[in-house]
Amino acid sequence: MKKLYLLLLVAILTFSITTGCSNNGENNEGTNTSTGTNDQAENTNPQNPSVDLAQNVSSSGTMTQEGKLVVLVKNNNNVAVDLDIEVEFYDADGLIAGSDSDSLMAVGANAEVAVEMYSTPESFDNYKIYVDVTATEQISYFDKVELVHNNNGEEIVVQVKNNSQDEIDYIEVGIVYYQGDKVVGYDYDNEIEIKPERSANFSLYYPHDDDYDDVNFDTYKVFINEAYSYNW
């Protein structure tokens, strides 16, 4: 009889622990939305940390001379996040004219990134940017890399040095060209398996228009879009 009571007590305790733990899992995701005028979505649930991640991510878009939309995203969180960026393009009647998307992994805390929507339609009136934000499960190396760049008169040469003691699986850089305050061009490149104390090296092309004629620029900005290893 004592053994039976003991088994019943263990079963009750096991059920209580299982029930108490079953509500602790959270889907740490959220969505940030902006339009062509960069209006931000309101935080509809401030108690949800997943929505807080999205609230701390800002986005905006601007067109290049080639007719492509460049989306700038700033992660104002103090943790690295994964970003899924989607853009919907609409005509003047509000009908869908096209769409495009891109994803970035393990974007560092307080980092800004820039991606180009390659499938930007030739004709549209306005657009809407959606950014889905997730706390990353990968290892971010944004704080362990060093960025240097040089305009050699023919292209922009970029070097990202791996200052960590680990091999970095993937590094991507993007460059935005400006004429005054106006964005006129974009390019990007990536490299894999960057050994410790070694560098990822890139040569980024000068901007051109949709006829592939050169576009003048007076300044540029290089972005580290990704620097991560898989957490396997």
Q: Distance of CA 203 to CAs 150, 154, 184, 190, Å?
A: 10, 10, 18, 10
pLDDT at 106: 98
Question: The domain at 29-137 falls in which architecture?
Answer: Sandwich (2.60)
Average pLDDT over residues 4-9: 41
pLDDT at 1: 41
CATH 3.30.70 fits 140-229, yes or no: no
In the chain, residues under CATH classification 2.60.40 are: 29-137, 140-229
Q: Are 71 and 117 in contact (CB under 8 A)?
A: yes
pLDDT at 29: 56
pLDDT at 32: 72
Question: pLDDT tens for residues 137-194?
Answer: 999 999 999 999 999 999 999 999 999 999 999 999 999 999 999 999 999 999 999 9
Q: Is the pLDDT of residue 26 over 80?
A: no
Q: Is the pLDDT of residue 231 over 80?
A: yes
Which residue bears the tokens 């540029």?
220
The strand pairing partners of 114, in sequence order, are 72
Which residue bears the tokens 């080639």?
66
Where does residue 91 fall: left (phi above 0), alpha (psi -120 to 50 degrees), or beta otherwise? beta
Q: Is the pLDDT of residue 16 over 90?
A: no
pLDDT range class, residue 48, cuts 50, 70, 90: low
d(CA 164, CA 198) in angstroms, rounded, equals 9
Which of the 8 DSSP states describes residue 207? Answer: P
Q: Is the pLDDT of residue 211 over 90?
A: no
Question: pLDDT tens for residues 76-135?
Answer: 999 999 999 999 999 999 999 999 999 999 999 999 999 999 999 999 999 999 999 999
Which residue bears the tokens 């800002």?
58
Which run of H or E residues covers position 107? strand 96-107
Among candidates 109, 8, 7, 131, which has minimal Cα distance to 61?
131
pLDDT range class, residue 45, cuts 50, 70, 90: very low
